[in-house]
Amino acid sequence: MIAVTGANGQLGRSVLRFLKDLANEPVRALVRAPEKAQDLRSAQVSVVRFDYDDPASLPSALEGVDRLLLISGSEVGQRVPQHAAVIEAAKSAGVKFIAYTSLLNVPHTRLILGAEHIKTEKLLEESGIAYVSLRNGWYLENFAGSIAAALEHGAVVGSSGNGKTSIAGRDDYAEAAARIVAGDDLATRAIELAGDEALTLQDLATEISRQTGRQIPFQNVPEEDYAGILSAAGLPEGFARAIADSSARTADGDLYNSSTALRQIIGRPTRTLSDYVSEVLSTAQNRT
C-alpha cells in the first residue's frame, strides 16, 4: 500500500491523479479533515484522518502502509516537529520506504525556508527507513502573485537581481513524486529536481510584457524593502520575510540547479514560463 500525506492539498491531489495510472497498489489518502476530502475516494483510494498535531493517532493510520509520500507541511515554523511525528509513526507502523518533498540544494541552501527541510532530511537519515529526498525547485505557481501585482502596478518587484531560479510546474513535481513512490528503486538517495528552464525576474517581466503588449519592467529592491512591500500587500510578516529572503538568496544562486533528473523521471519536458504566464493571463481576462 502507498500512502500520501497532505493528500487534500494541491500537490497531494495532483499526486493522486498520477498514482491512478502508475500504481497497482491501493492508495491511502492521509488528510487532516476527511469530511472535506470525500471526493478523493475511489475503488483504489481510501481516505483516512491524519493530523500532524495529534501524534498518537498517526501510527494506526499508517498500519499496512509499505511506502509513504511525506509531503512537507504547510505550517512554516511547525514542520520539524510535525515531520518528526510522522517519521516516528512510520517506524512504529513498519513503513519500508519514505519519499519526502524537500527543497532544491538542501543541505547547502541558505534560504530561511530551507532550514526545516535540512532538519527533516536529518531525521530521515537517522530513522533507519529507506528514503528519497525529492529536492523540488521553485514552483511556477509561486509566481502567481508576482504576475498579478505586475498587472496591477505595472512592474515585477523582487530582490533577486540577475539570479536564476530553476522552475517547473506543480504537476511536474507531482508526477515525479508519484513515479518515485510507485517505482522499483527503493534505495536511499537525494534527487535534485530542477525544471528545464531557469529564469530571472527580468525574464518574467519580459514574458509578461510580450504577452500583454505592455512595458512591464523589473524593479530590483533591497530585501528589507521587498519584505515591507509584501507585508503591505497583506502577507503575514514572517511569511513576507521568508519570501523576501528567498528572493535575495536567489541572487546568490540558492534556487538554481542544472540537474536534468526531473525531466528524466517524468519522461517529458517540464512546463514553461510562457505557458504558465499565458494561463494566468487567460484566467485574469475571464474574470473581467
Segment 24-45, tens digit of pLDDT? 899 999 999 999 999 999 999 9
Q: Among 5-14, 33-42, 52-61, which stretch is predicted with the lowest mean pLDDT?
A: 52-61
Give start and end residues of each alpha helix (H) in 156-272.
170-181, 201-212, 223-232, 237-250, 261-266
User: Grid coordinates representing 273?
Assistant: 514560463
Q: Which CATH class is domain 2-137+169-193?
A: alpha beta
Q: What's the pLDDT tens digit per position in 203-235?
A: 999 999 999 999 999 999 999 999 999 999 898
Mean pLDDT of 60-71: 97
For the chain, strand residue ranges (E) read 2-4, 27-31, 45-49, 67-70, 97-103, 130-136, 138-139, 156-158, 165-168, 189-193, 197-199, 218-220
In sequence order, the β-bridge partners of residue 165 are 199
d(CA 8, CA 38): 10
**Local structure of residue 270 (DSSP, 8 states):** P
Q: What's the pLDDT tens digit per position in 256-265?
A: 999 999 999 9
pLDDT value of residue 288: 59
pLDDT at 252 over 80: yes
The percent of residues above 90 in pLDDT, for the chain, comes to: 91
d(CA 250, CA 146): 15
Which band of pLDDT confidence, cut at 50, 70 and 90, is reported for residue 286? confident
- What's phi and psi for 228, nearest 5 deg? -65, -40
pLDDT value of residue 76: 84
